[in-house]
Amino acid sequence: MEDFVFKTMTSSFALLVLYIVIRFVNNIWWRPRSTEKLLRQQGIRGSSYKLFNGDISDMKNSALKASSKAISLNHQIVPRVIPFIHKMVQQHGNVSLCWFGRRPRLIVVDAELTRLVLTNKNGHFTKPPRNPLVKILTQGLSSLEGEAWTKRRRLVTSAFQLQKLKAMVPAFSSSCHNMIQRWEKLVEPNGSFELDVSSEFDVLAGDVIARTAFGSSYQEGKKIFELQKEQAILARAEVLGIFGKKAPDFEGINHLKIVSMILYEVLRLYPPITVINKYNWCETRVGNMSIPAGVEVCLPLLLLHYDGNYWEKPEEFNPVRFTEGVSKASKDHIAFYPFGWGPRICPGQNFAFLEAKMALATILQHFSFQLSPSYAHAPSNSITLKPQFGAPIVIRRI
C-alpha cells in the first residue's frame, strides 16, 4: 500500500514538473515563435524573437543614445523622441514587428489600420496588461475595461459636458491669474526675467485640476467666459507678434480662431502622448491582416502627425493648415489624433483645450516673451512628451 502511495505521489510530482516545464517552454519559445510565423506568412517584416528579452535592450540603448544630446532648433524630433520605433518603420515599413520582451508588438503607421484598431467595437483591443503593482496604483478610468469602464466613462463624460466646463471657467481663470501674479512679482517693471515655463505649466495644470474638483456657479462662469473672449481679442496683436517677420498669413481670420489654430499646430508637432498601445486578447481581423491573440499593437501618433503622405511640409510650424478646422487640415482626418480616437478618446480634451487657450490668452495680455539663449531643444518621451532640459523663456511686461 505504502509503495502504491509513494509511486502515485512521485508520478504526480513528475507530471506536475513536466507540465510546468512545457508551459514555461511554450511561453518563452513556442508561442512567440508561432506568432512570429503567423505574422511573417502575411508578409509582415521586422525583428526576430530573441529569448526572454526580445528587443528590450535595443529599445533601451536607442532611447539612451537619443537622449544623450540636444538637437538643432527645428521640428525634426521623431528620431529623438521615439528612436526605436522610427528605426523599425524606416527598416521594415508601415507595419513592422518587434518584441517587447516575450510580447509581440506590431508597429502600425497607417491611417486606415489605425482607425480600425481604435474604433474596433468587439472589445478585442484593450489596454496592454500591466504589472500587478502598477494596476493597484492606477485604478482610474484609463485602466478599467468592460462593464466597469462603461459605467465610469459615462460619469466622466457627463462631468466634462460643455455646461459643466463653462462652470469651471472661474477656476481656470483664477489659476491663470495666480500664475500671472507670481510672474509679475519676478519681473521688474522695465526688466525681464527668465523662467522655466515647463514647470510653470505643470503647476498650472495641477492647480486647475485641484480647483475644478470643487466646482463653481454657472452664472459666474458665463460672465468670466465672456470676459475671456474679450481678453483673447486683445491678445490678437501679441499672437501675431510671436512670429515676427515669419508671421503666417492670418488675414481675415478671427482672433480666437488663431489661438486655436496655434494650439492645434503645437499639438500636432508636440503631442503630449506620442504612442498609444493596445493589446489584442483575441484573434482579430484588421483590414487584410489577421492579428493573433496576445499581440500588442503600437500606434505611434507622432509618426502620423509627421507623415508627408498626409501633411504638406509636415516639419514646418504652420497653424494656417488648421484654418478650415481639424478635419480638413490633413489628407485623412485620422492623421491627427492627439487625443486618441474611438471609444477611448480623451474625455478631457475640451477641458485641456480650454485651459490652454485661456492660459495663452492671459499670458499674452501681460507679457511678451522669447526663447532663452540657454534653451536646449530636447523633446523627450517620459510617459508624456516633455522638454528634457526644461523650457526657459525670457518674459517682459507689456
**Positions in the binding site for ligand HEM (CB under 6 A):** 141-142, 153, 156, 271-273, 276, 338-340, 344, 346-348, 351-352
Give 129 or 272: the residue with its C-beta nearer to ligand HEM. 272
CB of 27 to ligand HEM, least distance (A): 26
CB of 60 to ligand HEM, least distance (A): 23
138, three cell numbers: 492606477
340: left (phi over 0), alpha (psi -120 to 50) or beta: left
CB of 387 to ligand HEM, least distance (A): 15
Residues whose CB is less than 8 angstroms from the CB of residue 103 and which lie 6 or more positions away in sequence, other chains included: 54, 128, 294, 295, 296
Instruction: Single out the residue of 57, 393, 12 nearest to residue 197, CA to CA.
Output: 393
CB of 341 to ligand HEM, least distance (A): 7
Rounded distance between C-alpha atoms, residue 43 and residue 7, angstroms: 51
Give 2 or 147: the residue with its C-beta nearer to ligand HEM. 147
CB of 189 to ligand HEM, least distance (A): 34
Q: Residue 346 carries which side chain, given as an amino acid letter?
A: C
CB of 106 closer than 8 Å to CB of 319: no
Give 56 or 156: the residue with its C-beta nearer to ligand HEM. 156
Instruction: Single out the residue of 382, 381, 391, 393 nearest to residue 77, CA to CA.
Output: 381
CB of 338 to ligand HEM, least distance (A): 5
CB of 394 to ligand HEM, least distance (A): 25
CB of 352 to ligand HEM, least distance (A): 4
CB of 339 to ligand HEM, least distance (A): 5
Instruction: Single out the residue of 91, 112, 49 nearest to residue 299, CA to CA.
Output: 112
Give 70 or 346: the residue with its C-beta nearer to ligand HEM. 346
Give 53 or 174: the residue with its C-beta nearer to ligand HEM. 174
Q: 3-class SS at 292?
A: coil
Give 164 or 222: the residue with its C-beta nearer to ligand HEM. 164
Give 56 or 266: the residue with its C-beta nearer to ligand HEM. 266
Q: How far is CA 76 from the centre of its chain?
A: 18
Instruction: Single out the residue of 268, 331, 40 nearest to residue 48, CA to CA.
Output: 40
Burial of residue 213, with CB atoms counted within 10 A of its CB: 0-12 exposed, 13-18 middle, 19 or more buried: exposed
DSSP assignments along 176-193, one per residue:
HHHHHHHHHHHS-TT-EE
Rounded distance between C-alpha atoms, residue 320 and residue 202, angstroms: 28
CB of 37 to ligand HEM, least distance (A): 29
Give 272 or 325: the residue with its C-beta nearer to ligand HEM. 272
- Contacts of 325-333 with C-beta under 8 Å, sequence gap 24+, read 326/264, 329/264, 329/268, 332/111
Give 208 or 224: the residue with its C-beta nearer to ligand HEM. 208
Give 152 or 397: the residue with its C-beta nearer to ligand HEM. 152
Burial of residue 86, with CB atoms counted within 10 A of its CB: 0-12 exposed, 13-18 middle, 19 or more buried: buried
The residue with its CB nearest to ligand HEM is 348
